[in-house]
C-alpha cells in the first residue's frame, strides 16, 4: 500500500512538472506575440506621425474592448482580460508617443484612479490642485489629455467642470465611469483609537450613516480631496481618513473598515479632455452647451428637433450664465456623433433659436453607460 502511494505521488509530481512546463511555454509564446505586436505598434506610430493623426484614439480603444467582449468565451475572466489589455494599450501608446496626462490630484484621488483605468500605468501623469489647472495644462499643451470629474450618482454634477467649458477651447474626447468605494484608513489598527475623521465633503456625506453608527462622537474635518485626508492620517496616529484602497497603499495606512459608503451604487463619471474630437466609434455621445433667445417657447423649439430626428437626450443641465441676471447656459448630452446626419440636422435646426451654441465634444460612450 505504501509503495502504491509513493508511486501515485511520483506520478503527481511528474504531471505537475509537465503542466508547469506547458504554462512556461505558453508564457514565452505570449512574450513573443507581444514583441510582434510592439513592432506593428511602432510602425503605426510612424504612420500617425507622418500623417499628423492623434496617438490616442478612443474609437480604436473601444473597438478593442468590444473585441475582447466578443472573443472572450473561455476560462479566462473577461474582467481580467480587460485589465491586461488596458496595460498592453498603455505600453503601446508609450511606444508610439510618450503622452502626458494631467488630472485633478493629488496622487490616489478617485480622479487619479479613473485616469489610470483609462490610460494605464505606462504614461506620465501630472497631478494638479484644481480643475482649472487641468484645463490650462491641456490648453497650453503641457499635457496631451486631462481627466476631471463631471458628476456623481449621489452628489450630482460637478458645477465647476461645467463652468470651465464656457471659455475653454478643449474638447471632451472620452468618458470614464467608475464605482466609488470608500474605506476608513488610519495608522492605528484599532477603531477605538480614532479621535478625528478627515475627508472630502462629498465622501463624508456619502458615509454619514456608517459614521453615525460606528463613530458617532468623532469630529469630522473637511479636506480638498480624499488623498489629502490620507496624507493627514499618515502623520496623525489617532486620525482616520475616508479614502480609496490606493490611498492606503500609497500612504502606508491600515484599512479599518471597507466599503463604508451608505449606497452601494455610488458611481462617478469623469471626462477626458483634449484638443481634437475623435472619430466616430458607432456608439457615441455628443455634448454641447447653448444659451437661448428670450422668447416664449424657445426651449421647446430647441429640444423639438431632437425628438423629430429620433435622438435621445441623456442629460440636460442648466447653470447661471453670469453675464445677465436670470439667464442660463444649458448643457446637454445626446446619443450619436457630430458626424451623424441626423445629429447635424437637429443641431442646425436648434441653432436658429439660440444666442450661442458650442459643441463640447463627440466621443465613445463608456462601455458601462
- The b/e string for 139-167 (b: 16+ C-beta within 10 A; e otherwise) is eeeebbbbbbbbbbebbebbeebbbbbbe
Considering 111, 161, 226, 268, which one is annotated as catalytic? 268
296-304: Cβ within 8 A, 24+ apart: 298/353, 299/330, 301/350, 301/352, 301/353, 302/350, 302/353, 302/354, 303/350
Q: How many residues does the chain have?
A: 369
Rounded (10°) angle between helices 341-351 and 298-308: 160
Catalytic-residue membership of 268 = yes
Contact 181/245 with Cβ under 8 angstroms?
yes
Please state the separation of Cα 2 from the chain's center in Å.
Answer: 60
Catalytic-residue membership of 226 = no
Three-class SS state of 153: coil
- CA 174 to CA 272: how far, in whole Å? 5
**Which alpha helices (H) appear in 52-109, and where do they start and end?**
58-71, 78-96
Nearest to 143 by CA among 200, 105, 187, 190: 105
239-243 β-sheet, strand order? 220-222, 196-199, 239-243, 183-186, 254-257
Three-class SS state of 127: strand
- The b/e string for 92-124 (b: 16+ C-beta within 10 A; e otherwise) is bbbbbeebbbbbbbbbbbbbbbbbbbbbbebbe
Considering 110, 145, 165, 270, which one is annotated as catalytic? 270
Q: Which residues are annotated as catalytic?
A: 268, 270
Amino acid at each position: 500500500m505504501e509503495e502504491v502511494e509513493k508511486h501515485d505521488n511520483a506520478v503527481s509530481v511528474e504531471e505537475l512538472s509537465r503542466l508547469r512546463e506547458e504554462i512556461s511555454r505558453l508564457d514565452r509564446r505570449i512574450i513573443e506575440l507581444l514583441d510582434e505586436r510592439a513592432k506593428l505598434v511602432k510602425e503605426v506610430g510612424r504612420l500617425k506621425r507622418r500623417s499628423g493623426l492623434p496617438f490616442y484614439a478612443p474609437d480604436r480603444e473601444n473597438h478593442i474592448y468590444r473585441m475582447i467582449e466578443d472573443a472572450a468565451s473561455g476560462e479566462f475572466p473577461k474582467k481580467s482580460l480587460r485589465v491586461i489589455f488596458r496595460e498592453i494599450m498603455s505600453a503601446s501608446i508609450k511606444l508610439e508617443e510618450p503622452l502626458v496626462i494631467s488630472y485633478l490630484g493629488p496622487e490616489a484621488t478617485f480622479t487619479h484612479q479613473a485616469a489610470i483605468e483609462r490610460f494605464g500605468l505606462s504614461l506620465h501623469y501630472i497631478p494638479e490642485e484644481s480643475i482649472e489647472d487641468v484645463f490650462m495644462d491641456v490648453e497650453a499643451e503641457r499635457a496631451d489629455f486631462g481627466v476631471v470629474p463631471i458628476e456623481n450618482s449621489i452628489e450630482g454634477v460637478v458645477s465647476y467642470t461645467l463652468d470651465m467649458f464656457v471659455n475653454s477651447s478643449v474638447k471632451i474626447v472620452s468618458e470614464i465611469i467608475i464605482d466609488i468605494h470608500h474605506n476608513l484608513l488610519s495608522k492605528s489598527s484599532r477603531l477605538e483609537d480614532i479621535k478625528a475623521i478627515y475627508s472630502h465633503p462629498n465622501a463624508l456625506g456619502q458615509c454619514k450613516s456608517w459614521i453615525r453608527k460606528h463613530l458617532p462622537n468623532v469630529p469630522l474635518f473637511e479636506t480638498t480631496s480624499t488623498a489629502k485626508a490620507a496624507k493627514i492620517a499618515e502623520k496623525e496616529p489617532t486620525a482616520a481618513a475616508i479614502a480609496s484602497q490606493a490611498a492606503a497603499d500609497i500612504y502606508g495606512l491600515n484599512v479599518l473598515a471597507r466599503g463604508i459608503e451608505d449606497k452601494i451604487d455610488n458611481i462617478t463619471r469623469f471626462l477626458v479632455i483634449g484638443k481634437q474630437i475623435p472619430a466616430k466609434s458607432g456608439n457615441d455621445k455628443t455634448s454641447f452647451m447653448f444659451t437661448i433667445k428670450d422668447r416664449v417657447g424657445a426651449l421647446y423649439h430647441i429640444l423639438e428637433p431632437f425628438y423629430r430626428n429620433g435622438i435621445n437626450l441623456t442629460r440636460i443641465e442648466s447653470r447661471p450664465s453670469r453675464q445677465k441676471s436670470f439667464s442660463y447656459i444649458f448643457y446637454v448630452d445626446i446619443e450619436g456623433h457630430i458626424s451623424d446626419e441626423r445629429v447635424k440636422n437637429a443641431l442646425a435646426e436648434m441653432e436658429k433659436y439660440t444666442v450661442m451654441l458650442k459643441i463640447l465634444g463627440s466621443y465613445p460612450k463608456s462601455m458601462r453607460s
